[in-house]
Structures are given as C-alpha cells and as structure tokens.
Amino acid sequence: MTARTIRVGILGNGNIGEALVDRIEAQRGDLAARTGIDLEIAKVAVRTMDELRSTHLAADVVTTDAMSICVDEGIDVVVELIGGVEPARTFVLAALGAHKPVVTANKALIAATGTELFDVAVSTGVDFLFEAAVGGGIPIIRPLRESLIGDRITRVLGIVNGTTNYVLTRMTEEGSQFGDVLAEAQRLGFAEANPAADIGGHDAAAKAAILATIAFGTTVVADQVYTEGIDDVDAELIDRATRLGYVIKLLAIVERVDDGADTQTAVRVHPTMVPLDHPLAAVRDSFNAVFVQGEAVDDLMFYGRGAGGGPTATAVLGDVIDAARNLVNGTHADVGRLVPAEIRPIGELTSAYYLDPEVVDRPGVLRAVAEVLARHDVSIRSLEQIDAGGGARLIFITHIAREADIQAVRRELADLDVVVDVGRLVRVIADA
Amino acid sequence: MTARTIRVGILGNGNIGEALVDRIEAQRGDLAARTGIDLEIAKVAVRTMDELRSTHLAADVVTTDAMSICVDEGIDVVVELIGGVEPARTFVLAALGAHKPVVTANKALIAATGTELFDVAVSTGVDFLFEAAVGGGIPIIRPLRESLIGDRITRVLGIVNGTTNYVLTRMTEEGSQFGDVLAEAQRLGFAEANPAADIGGHDAAAKAAILATIAFGTTVVADQVYTEGIDDVDAELIDRATRLGYVIKLLAIVERVDDGADTQTAVRVHPTMVPLDHPLAAVRDSFNAVFVQGEAVDDLMFYGRGAGGGPTATAVLGDVIDAARNLVNGTHADVGRLVPAEIRPIGELTSAYYLDPEVVDRPGVLRAVAEVLARHDVSIRSLEQIDAGGGARLIFITHIAREADIQAVRRELADLDVVVDVGRLVRVIADA
C-alpha cells in the first residue's frame, strides 16, 4: 500500500500544538504503515516573531500569517489550536470556505458559534471535527455521534473541568480550605493564574453546551447553560456531604425532558452531591469523566485526562487521521441534522436537594419548617439536626422536587422568625 | 434530505436479535431524520420452525434459511448474532464474499478466526464491524481503532466478564462464599447454567485476544492467551486482599513489551489484586470496564454494561449505521494493517505478586524463605505474618518480578522443610 501524503496546517504553537507536532513526528512512519496516511506538517502559524525564533521547526514551515494557511491550496487539513472565539472563528470559516476539513480543540468557539460552523461545514461538505473540545484525551464526541447513534440518550453527567475537580478532591481528602488548595494548584500549574472561568463553572458550561448538542442533536450555546461555580463550597459543606455518604463534584448535567408532546433540553453546571458508590465519585484529582445514560445502553462512563498537551493532542490527531481518511475516500463525516434546542427553564428542573437552614432551638420550630416544605410539595428523604452555636442546624435531603418549589421554600424559610440563616442549597444525584 | 433505505438481514433471533429489532423499530423515523439512513428489517433468520411460529415478525420477513440472507441481492447489510464459531463463520464468509458488510457481536468467532475474516473483508473491500464483541454496550473497539490511532497504546486492563465480576463483588462486599454467590447468580440469570467459560476465564480470554489485536495492530487468537479463572478465589483470600488495600478482579491484561528491537505482545487473563484507589476497583457487580494506557493520552477508562440485549443491541446498531453510511458514501472502514503478534511467553512477563506460604513458627524460618526470594532477584515490598493453626502464614507483596523467577521461588519454597504449604500466587497491579 502506498501511503497518501496529507499536508497539515496548524494554527497555534502552544502546549497542544507542540505536543501535536511531536506526536506526528514520532508516529509518522507507523501511522503511514497502519493507515496509509502520511501526515506532513506543512505549516505552523505562531503568534509572534519571538515565538517564531524560539521554535525548533524549519524556517519554511513557520509563519506568523495564520490566514495564509487557511487559504493555501497546498494544505489539506487545518488544525485550529488558537483558542477563544476570535480570531479563531474567522480562520475556521476561511478554511471551511476554502473546502478544507478543520479539526479544533476549541470549546469556547464551538459553544459560542457551533451552529454557524456546523452549517458551513455541512453546506461546503467538509469535515469539522472537535473531539478534543470536551474531555481532552477522552473519546466522547465520536462515541456519542457514532457508537450511540442508535440509542436515545436521556442524560449526560460530566466532570469536565480538571481544575475544579482537583480542588474539590484535595478539599475532600485532606480537609483543606478552598483558597489554600487553589493557590497550590496554581503553583503546580493545574490552575490558571486567573482561574475565574474554571472556578465559576464557565469552562464546564461551554462543554455542557457541546455535550447537549451532540447527545441530543439539538444546538445549545454556552449562554443557555444555567451555571454556578464552586466558590461557595467550603470544608464544612464537604464534611457534611461526606458524613451523609456523598462527595461534592462540579457536574455538567444535560437531560432530555419529555413534557407531553414537547421534548426539552435541560442543561446546567453546578456543584452536586454524588453518592459515594456512583462511578463519578471515584473520579479524583484532575481527571475528567463523562457519564452517559441511554434508553437501551443503560449506564456508560468515559474517563481520562481532560487536559494537558499529550492527551489533547491524541484526540486532535485522531480527528486529523479521520479527516485525512475521509479526504482520501472522497467523503466526509456527518454531524447529522441538528435542530434548535428548546431549553427547559431552571425553575422547571427536578432534582433531589440538600438544605441546611439554621434555626433557633425551641419546640415547634421543626413543625414550622416542615410546613413550609409540605406547602410546596417538597418531601423529605432524610433529616438530621446538629448543634450550631446557640441554635440548631437542620440538614435535609429531599426527594425529587421542582427547582422553583425549592426556591420558594428557601424564600419563605428566610422570612420565618425562627430561621436564623436559610443556609445552603446543593443539588443531589438521587440514584446511584 | 431524502432518506436512503438500507435493507438489513439479521442472523439469529435470541436476546440481542430481539432487542435489535425493537431498537430499529423504535428509532427508525428518528434515525432516518438524523442520519439520512432508513433501516428496513428485510429478513431475520431463526433456528427452528418453533422459533419461527413464536415470533411477532411478519411471515415474509422470517426464515430458517440463514444462508439465503447472506447471498440475497436485496440485502444490504448482514448482522450475525448466532454466536460460536460454526456455522457463524460460514455465514459471515458467504456474506463478505457476496460483498455485503457484516456486523457481529460474536467474540468467539473473532477471537478464533478474526485474521481470516479481516483478510476477506479487506480483499473484498467491505465493512466487518464488531463493536459489541468486547464490553457489550461500551464503545471500545471504535475508540481504539479511530480516536486513539495517533497514540501508541502500551497496556489495556479489562474487566470484560460480567458474571465473574458479579461473583467477586458479592464475595467482597458480603463475605459470601464462591459457590453460594454463583448459585444466586444463576438463579438471577446473570450466570449461565454451565458457567465454565465465564468462571474459567475463557470468555475473557477471547476478548483479550480481540483487544490485543485492535490496540496493537497485531493478530492474536484466543489460544495464545494465558488463562486462569477465578475457581480458586475464596473468601479468605478476598479478606486478605481487602486488608492489604486491594480488591480482586478477573482482568484481561494486554501489554506491548519492547525488548530491544523486538516488540512483543503479552496477553493474559487471571485474578488480579487491584489497588482500592485504581479506577477499576470501583467497577462493581456485572459492569465491565476497559482501562487503556497510551504514551500520550495517559490513562483512559471505558465503563458500562458488558452484556444484555439492550446494551449489546445499541453497539450492534451503531455498527449497522456506520456500515450503512459507508455503503451510501461508497467507502468502507479500515481495520488498518495487522501483523502477526509475537507473543511474549508467560515466564517472561513481569508483575508484582502476592504470595502467602504457611511455615512452621520457629527462629530462622523467615531467613530461609527470604534467601529463596533473594536468590531469584525477587524483592519484597511488604511482609506481614499472621497466625495459621500451629504455624504462621507469611503474606508477601513483591516488587515487580519476572514470572519465571516467582515460579522458581514457589518450587523451591515447596521443597523447604519449614514450609508447610506453599500457598497462593496472585498477580498484583502495582501502580494506581
């Protein structure tokens, strides 16, 4: 078999870009023998002349003009590793417009403008692949798109941000405080200097939007994702969760909700209490995992490194080979028909809940609190009372309830004279 | 988009066959809308006239003549769900020979004659797909073949037999004895009436052969897999493993071993002590999981239902859609070039080991035992002495050692006067 040469143009020379170049150079011969595809790194776009001078790449391969790669007739496949929405979007549109398959690891780009890019890819008939955008090295987009296409996916629960999972794991296992662990994670390079997008849940929200789009065939953008970060999770809350048999994880949750004739998409990111015997509970440190539930396939989980040059470059390279094979075969992958999602409002979501109001410790108080819950159809699965300074703290886990009802309960509890502090609200995964 | 009709012929009408028919009927419209592929169940082959009479399928769809489906010009894709090597092999060869893509869930067939079938599929240029053959509903073959093609896989550890995992989980969590749990599993339908293939590790060995073939691009057949079952695992051994921080799992282990210029494939199935904080330790009951290590991607794990009609049918249906898309696009999947595996002899394998010889309790005994280990370059990671009737039992965990050296140690220990019983040998996963 004679290998067919495919010329790859790479936009961006950061961590992932360097790992990708290394992988291609290390595996080139082996890949050609196994797949018949000979990958040639034709061009790499760097951002600055300084970067250009520091690279070990040949001078005629490197350029600071990313757009020239997108429109170069000698380039077969374009890999976008710049990150962020612009100018990445402009380059991707130019490459797709020039009928070049595009591979990207850019979750922000897809979560913000995926619909537009999918449409252009479909209408120009070229591949637009993004396995690395969710879960880094974990194969999840391809299994959802291809392996599970015959099933009806009902729910996806994802630990899709390594920084927050690292912070929560260290807090849980060592009893450390949030600020200390975050500082340590920054020192070790696990957390960004500005960790707001991770800690605030926005990185996970972008991935939730992509997962919902692929799992349900409905286009969801990041702005439609209800998002809470882990800012308010402290050692005390983690300790209470542990004693109740839960571990706190920042989950991206996407659900298909059939409401009569309507099918809605529920999509949210927030700290969640996960039962200790749930497979997601064992996902520690900076590892990611995506737990998928389907009507026929039942429970699945995909686990691995959600970030890092090597893992992410592996996912990118899998897509590059796929695009190259499709070019050779004169075909292209198909995202399938996507329809706009009807987003279920957060108030209509249902979940089990953890509540821990602090109350004055005198007769009749529990009755007053229980009346508020009953009035809003919130039933109690477990209740524990613990001392709290002069008063008492009531630790409730509810049965499945409607979010709007829980929020009404909290407003009314806050108005009761006997309630000192309305306490926290944490959503709880009820089924192991 | 007008959907293209693809006519599917199904060989076998058991558990998986019925689930597949149900899935296709339930999803047909949705699949046509999403993928442009309209799947028509054209023919289903049953084994007997009794089966024929009991099915709810239309009379003109059912036949007892499986071969007629394989050569029917009106059939586009053949699904083989008969199981076993013959007559399945004959039917698959006939269908491939008639230039029809074949989808199968038949691990025994692939583990025994995969090389022949791959060759025929490549030379006739049609798809031969078998996602369901390993791990039931878990997408693992496609991720290995496609998503991870750019990485160099170094090791795969699989819990790939649900019956043995169920038995070991119940023994571990309830302290039950092997025979009692097995009887319960048979009563609940988790274990076959004749469980020898499961308990003896042979089912897992077939899957190990397939995993090695796909992960390393080298053809391995079931006969080449070193295989031990769980027959000798009892409550006492499980209890000792628990106290040492391990859980016992029946693992399929395939490794790439670079030995100078040579690359060998090590492939084996045996009970293994897995550290409690390893992701595989949390895989309970009848769930399966495949843990993959690659040079660049690091650790991955794929978890889900390894058996059952719904999960297995989902995997089969994903392959059917893939084959149908390829037919429509005039292309076919590519297993890549496979080379014959050079199998590393079991004596050359390396692992950490658990040993627990029973000795007489008197001065100098430990020194005599330790001398035997030292003579064979086996170094000790941990040692505990427990009472055993009148004597003592020495519980060793070794550092990484060569299997042949450990076997020599056991032979020499058996010959020592002070050794009452040479005890067990269990391989240990050393790294979490």
pLDDT, one tens digit per residue, over B133-189 is 999 999 999 999 999 999 999 999 999 999 999 999 999 999 999 999 999 888 887
Residue A255 pLDDT grade (very low, low, confident, very high; cuts 50, 70, 90): very high
Retrieve residue A233's tokens.
Answer: 């999770």
Residue B29 has a pLDDT of 92
Residue B190 has a pLDDT of 74
Residue B192 pLDDT grade (very low, low, confident, very high; cuts 50, 70, 90): confident
Are A92 and A117 in contact by the 8 Å Cβ rule? The answer is: yes
Residue A1 has a pLDDT of 55
Residue A383 has a pLDDT of 95
Residue B274 has a pLDDT of 98
Average pLDDT over residues A304-329: 94
Q: Is A387 in a helix, a strand, or coil?
A: strand
What percentage of chain A reaches a pLDDT higher than 70? Answer: 99
Q: With an 8 Å Cβ cutoff, is B4 touching chain A?
A: no
Residue of B287, B301, B318 lying closest to A147 (CB–CB): B318
Residue A82 has a pLDDT of 94
Residue B335 pLDDT grade (very low, low, confident, very high; cuts 50, 70, 90): low
Gap between the Cα atoms of A251 and A269, Å rounded: 6
Chain A: residue whose CA lies nearest to B29: A150
Q: Nearest Cα to A352, choosing from A405, A280, A418, A278?
A: A405
Q: With an 8 Å Cβ cutoff, is A330 touching chain B?
A: yes
Q: With an 8 Å Cβ cutoff, is B33 touching chain A?
A: yes
Gap between the Cα atoms of A393 and A292, Å rounded: 36
Residue B1 has pLDDT above 60, yes or no: no
* CB-CB neighbours of B62 under 10 Å: 17
Chain B: residue whose CA lies nearest to A300: B304
Gap between the Cα atoms of B24 and A316, Å rounded: 33
Residue A337 has pLDDT above 70, yes or no: yes
Average pLDDT over residues B98-113: 95
Flag if A35 and B303 touch (Cβ within 8 Å). Answer: no
Gap between the Cα atoms of A24 and B152, Å rounded: 11
Q: What is the pLDDT of residues A98-127, one digit of tens each?
A: 999 999 999 999 999 988 999 999 899 999
Which chain B residues have a beta carbon less than 8 Å from that of A317? 149-151
Residue A281 has a pLDDT of 95
- Averaged pLDDT of chain B: 93
DSSP letters for A289-320: EEEEEETTTEEEEEEEE-SSHHHHHHHHHHHH
Q: Is B194 in a helix, a strand, or coil?
A: coil
Which chain B residues have a beta carbon less than 8 Å from that of A139? 139, 143, 147-148, 300
Flag if A34 and B322 touch (Cβ within 8 Å). Answer: no
Complex-level ipTM: 0.93
Average pLDDT over residues A165-183: 93
Q: What is the pLDDT of residues B373-408, one digit of tens each?
A: 999 999 999 999 998 878 899 999 999 999 999 999
Residue of B284, B303, B336 lying closest to A300 (CB–CB): B303
Tell me the nearest-neighbour CA distance from A411 into chain B, angstroms.
40
Gap between the Cα atoms of A340 and A31, Å rounded: 39
Q: What is the pLDDT of residues A407-429, one digit of tens each?
A: 999 999 999 999 999 999 999 99
Chain A: residue whose CA lies nearest to B326: A331
Flag if A139 and B131 touch (Cβ within 8 Å). Answer: no
H helix count then E strand count, chain A: 14, 21
Flag if B282 and A282 touch (Cβ within 8 Å). Answer: yes
Looking up tokens 């290998």 gives A3
Which chain B residues have a beta carbon less than 8 Å from that of A26? 152
Residue A379 has a pLDDT of 96
Which chain A residues have a beta carbon less than 8 Å from that of B331? 329-331
Chain B: residue whose CA lies nearest to A317: B150
Residue A391 has a pLDDT of 87
Q: With an 8 Å Cβ cutoff, is B139 touching chain A?
A: yes
Mutate to test the interface with A, among B146, B154, B214 (most CBs of A within 10 A): B146
Residue A206 has pLDDT above 90, yes or no: yes
Flag if A299 and B297 touch (Cβ within 8 Å). Answer: no
Residue of B147, B305, B314 lying closest to A131 (CB–CB): B147
Q: Is A205 in a helix, a strand, or coil?
A: helix
Retrieve residue A169's tokens.
Answer: 């794991």
B294 beta partners: B153, B298
In B, residues 217-256, which contact A (CB 8 Å cutoff)?
Answer: 217
Ranges of beta strands (E only) in A232-378 are 246-259, 262-275, 287-294, 298-305, 339-340, 350-355, 358-359
- Averaged pLDDT of chain A: 93
Torsion of the alpha carbons at A350, A354, A355 and A361, rounded to the nearest 10: 140
What chain A holds in terms of domains, given with CATH numbers, is 4-137+309-337 (3.40.50.720), 141-303 (3.30.360.10), 346-428 (3.30.70.260)
In B, residues 289-318, which contact A (CB 8 Å cutoff)?
Answer: 294-305, 308, 310-311, 313-315, 317-318
Q: Of residues B43, B107, B207, B249, which has the active-site annotation?
A: B207
Flag if B315 and A143 touch (Cβ within 8 Å). Answer: no
Q: What is the pLDDT of residues B82-103, one digit of tens each?
A: 999 999 999 999 999 999 999 9
Q: With an 8 Å Cβ cutoff, is B385 touching chain A?
A: no
Tell me the nearest-neighbour CA distance from A363 into chain B, angstroms.
42
Residue of B23, B147, B313 lying closest to A315 (CB–CB): B147
Which chain B residues have a beta carbon less than 8 Å from that of A33? 337
Residue A356 has a pLDDT of 96
Q: With an 8 Å Cβ cutoff, is B31 touching chain A?
A: yes
B418 beta partners: none
Mutate to test the interface with B, among A22, A122, A151, A156 (most CBs of B within 10 A): A151
Gap between the Cα atoms of A191 and B41, Å rounded: 52
Flag if A321 and B23 touch (Cβ within 8 Å). Answer: no
Residue A324 pLDDT grade (very low, low, confident, very high; cuts 50, 70, 90): very high
Gap between the Cα atoms of B237 and B60, Å rounded: 57
Q: How many CA atoms lie within 13 A of A122 on its CB side?
A: 13
Which chain B residues have a beta carbon less than 8 Å from that of A316? 150
Average pLDDT over residues A67-85: 96
Average pLDDT over residues A4-26: 94
Chain B: residue whose CA lies nearest to A151: B314
Residue of A23, A149, A325 lying closest to B318 (CB–CB): A149
What percentage of chain B reaches a pLDDT higher than 70? Answer: 99
Flag if B34 and A336 touch (Cβ within 8 Å). Answer: yes
* CB-CB neighbours of B98 under 10 Å: 17
Residue of A150, A295, A305 lying closest to B318 (CB–CB): A150
Flag if A149 and B36 touch (Cβ within 8 Å). Answer: no
Tell me the nearest-neighbour CA distance from A67 into chain B, angstroms.
26
Flag if B311 and A298 touch (Cβ within 8 Å). Answer: yes
What percentage of chain A reaches a pLDDT higher than 90? Answer: 81
Gap between the Cα atoms of B392 and A29, Å rounded: 57
Gap between the Cα atoms of B262 and B77, Å rounded: 40
Flag if B331 and A334 touch (Cβ within 8 Å). Answer: no
Residue of B23, B150, B295 lying closest to A321 (CB–CB): B150
